[in-house]
Amino acid sequence: MDLKGKPFYLDDEAVAWVENTRNAMTEDEKIQQLFFPALFYYDEAGISTILQKLRPAGVMFRPCSAEQAVTAAEILQRKSKIPMLIAANLEKGGSGIVSEGTLLGSPMEIAATADYEENARRLGTLCAREGKAVGANWAFAPIIDIDSNYRNPITNTRTFGSDPDRVTACGKAFTEACQKLGVAVSIKHFPGDGQDDRDQHLVSSVNDMDCETWMDTYGKAYKASIDAGALTCMIGHIMQPAWQKRLNPALRDEEIMPGSLSPELVGEEGLLRKVLGFNGLIATDATTMAGFTIPMPRRDAVPCAIASGADIFLFSRNMEEDLEYMRSGVAEGVISKERLDCAVTRILALKAALKLHKQVETPSLESALSVLGCEEHQGWAREVAREGITLVKEEPGVLPLNPQKNRVLYCPIEAEQGVGYSVRAGVCEEFKRMLEREGFEVTVFVPDKTHEGGVTRSDSFQKSYDYIIYMANMSTKSNQTTVRIEWQQPMGANCPHYIHTIPTIFISVENPYHLQDVPRVKTFINTYCSSQVVLEELVEKLMGRDSFRGVSPVDAFCGKWDTHLS
């Protein structure tokens, strides 16, 4: 392990700190340093309870208030003998760690802009600034998965799209910008999500590319960010059978493990380290996911993750139990003393690379609030929204909306809020109010409570409405297997029955693939994000006060011929 080379670039003083700190640790302190729990309590009492059980390498913050984050960061660093890593899912902006943070835009929204590389650089800059402002030093981003399968239930707008070159450029730009400001990135989810139509939260999924195709796509994206100096990489519960069998020809199908448990993918002689040349820290994705828990008993899986090549074990199903399993794994030789020291060395090297051995910054709430949601960042978010909203299909003469024809039949389609990567509640109602402020008379569609033969006459709709506008606020979320529209009864009452007689506009704010369910809709818009600024810029375009400039970074037509019909 070269601590003076890429990506740590430690000087003699930092190397000495790493080695002296590691050598002074007891074996049990080293074992505890492998863990990285999620934080749910942000006060001194809650944090003390955690630290009485475990002295981890750090913690991940779930979105909270700025005051909670600043307070928790100060407590954690004050109570820790070894400086703490503090991470968050800084995928879309500072909103990934605190409610006051800026939501710059989804990665796919950024990829839809003409200057996507510069906007990805801005995203990395913003995430570092706003994360650091509240005490974070590690971004669980950028996502460099490739959304090549539109049926994938978790990647979607979290990715920079389906073009490997665009994903590569955006991931590299984010990495350089974020780490330039002293916040480590974690390129994820190796060996690459977006191929399967299953979710690694629920099952060990598969990236089934052959080796050469993988190298030309995912491999290229990872290599670019590695060469740009990415300090860490997050490993998914995803298999890559072609590479695993190439690196271990004796491997039987039943022995193929997801990346988080696979020495062929993350070991010192494996795909990530040897083939791609990654020398940084490897973290598992959340080990609470079924993709990790299903392949083997947890007693075996916990130490196997570290033995296979990971350095940090993310989250726990039961903290005390997982700690017991990890201790047993060391005592029984599943994790060798050398592997344990290697993992701890990389953890400490990451901390030293972030200069935590010299000084841990504990920002004040006042200084944090001067950065969070600042005017410059809000300006960037508006520019991304203005440039990214995409007119996928257009029926001539429908846009811009004519305020003189102001009778709108409104069909909102909104998912329930879930846990993680979920929709923003109330978006459809918010958009309705925006239309009304523009002078439109908006009637929300209510299906007839009758049998098929007794529904309202078609010509009645034609006489009553000038436009039909659909808004779909449906996104991928954890523990969900598909994102499809479930139409109302009777017999799909709110389906686009009147597209040939009433100008119909379908707007999707969180999922670019709804054309599979409304293939003959003639005017279709993707925004990739449902933030307030996106809705405002959407209205500007609908009213003709601004033009549509976004270019779809995925195949919004879902590979189907009928979705192109008008």
- Residues classed as catalytic: 285
3-class SS of residue 410: strand
Q: How far apart are CA 507 and CA 346, in angstroms?
A: 47
For residue 352, give every residue at least 6 positions away whose Cβ sits within 8 Å of its Cβ, in sequence order, or none.
Answer: 8, 10, 14, 15, 17, 18
d(CA 489, CA 483): 19
Q: How far is CA 408 from the centre of its chain?
A: 35
The full DSSP string for 492-529 is: TTTS-TTTTTS-EEEEESS-TTGGGTSTT-SEEEE-S-
Residue 79 makes CB contacts below 8 A (sequence gap 6+) with: 47, 48, 51
Please, which residues bridge with residue 162 across strands?
A: none
Report the helix count and the strand count for the chain, using DSSP H and E: 20, 17
Rounded Cα distance, 237 and 439, in Å: 50
- 128, 246, 280 from 273: Cα distances, Å: 26, 15, 9
Return the closest-CA partner of residue 559 out of 490, 520, 499, 513: 513
| Whole-angstrom distance, CA of residue 89 vs CA of residue 75 | 21
Token pair in block for residue 445: 């569609």
Instruction: Please give the order of strands across the beta sheet that includes 467-473.
Output: 390-393, 523-526, 504-508, 467-473, 407-414, 441-444
Helix (H) or strand (E) holding 75: helix 66-79
522 vs 398: CA distance, rounded Å: 10
Structure tokens at 502: 């009433």
Burial class (CB in 10 A: 0-12, 13-18, 19+), 420: middle
Distance CA 535, CA 389 (A): 10
Q: How many other C-beta atoms lie within 10 A of the C-beta of residue 400?
A: 13
Amino acid at 22: R
